[in-house]
Structure 1
Amino acid sequence: MDSGAMRRRLALGATVVAASGALALAVPATAQAATAGSCAGHEVRSLPFGDGVVHVYKRNGYVCAVTVARQPGAKRAMSVSVQARGNRPVVDKGRYKYLAGPVTVHAGQRCVWVKGSVGGQSVSSGWILC
């Protein structure tokens, strides 16, 4: 590869990095947080509750969930869990500013139970996606 081609590739790489940095600054913090922790697949459910919302995604037999706070700010207790029927739940809980998760389980064709909480408020789905 000649030096001209190498310089063009380096310039293109620098442009891409600069553009992605500018885009990251333009996106609101809550959208950034949700995007950063999002799951693969398509969203099949949204479970809203007082201080947040749990987004549930499915892809190729896998179910993934993430809890997103409505008002990001100071760290507070947050959690998300997904349990495929017949298995133990997979849980992420702790003190977070924006989101808990993602957590993923292989459900196949089984029902799942999804839970999420922000602060003292929570949501529980019951058995879904059966």
Structure 2
Amino acid sequence: MRKFRTKVALPLVTAAMLAGSVVVSSPANAASSPIAACGGGSYHVIDHHNISGGVIYLMYNGRTNCAVTWKTANLGKSTPMDVWIARKNDAKSVEDEGSYAYYAGPVKIDAPGQCINWGGRISSSTWYSGWSHCG
């Protein structure tokens, strides 16, 4: 009887160890959508602009504006990117610039009822809004 337990226990322990060593990985901090990058919740897309290689999204939740530059090409490849948002009344601005595999941002600024300027860049393709969304 003792011999049988050893023969059964060893394969079970080995199988358990192998099962525990399987790891599924995904990109670190990669959000599934621009809204998810902003934190989800009550954010909704209020504007966007297509640029070469991606889209710059502007989202709002009733108080806070959030912007993300989202890649649509060369996903997973580190690319120089930028996203910014500024408030007109006091010229406060927030920017995220670096080399990213999926998106730049999010950048957020509270600006209910105030004009904002927002934009982004992927490699050499840049766009900015001028003062907008003033209400």
Instruction: Normalising by structure 2, report the TM-score.
Output: 0.68
For residues 35 and 58 of structure 1, do their structure 2 counterparts lie closer, same or farther at Cα, with a shift above 3 Å needed? closer
Secondary structure (helix, strand or coil) at the match of 1:37 reads helix
- Equivalenced residue count is 104
- Contact 2:35-2:44 at 8 Å conserved across structures: no
RMSD, matched Cα: 2.4
Between Structure 1 and Structure 2, which shows a larger proportion of helix residues? 1
Residue in 1 that maps onto 2:16? none
Q: How many Å separate the matches in 1 of 2:78 and 2:36?
A: 17
Matches within 5 A, 1:1-130: 32=32, 34=34, 36-40=36-40, 41-71=43-73, 72-85=75-88, 86-130=90-134
Between Structure 1 and Structure 2, which shows a larger proportion of strand residues? 1
- Where structure 2 has 5 or more consecutive residues not aligned to the other structure, the ranges are 1-23
- Where structure 1 has 5 or more consecutive residues not aligned to the other structure, the ranges are 1-21
Secondary structure (helix, strand or coil) at the match of 1:127 reads coil
For residues 34 and 42 of structure 1, do their structure 2 counterparts lie closer, same or farther at Cα, with a shift above 3 Å needed? closer
Displacement of 1:61 in angstroms is 1.9
Bigger CA drift: 34-43 or 110-119?
A: 34-43
- For residues 32-54 of structure 1, the C-alpha deviation after alignment (integer angstroms, 9 at most, x for no partner) is 36465245411100111112111
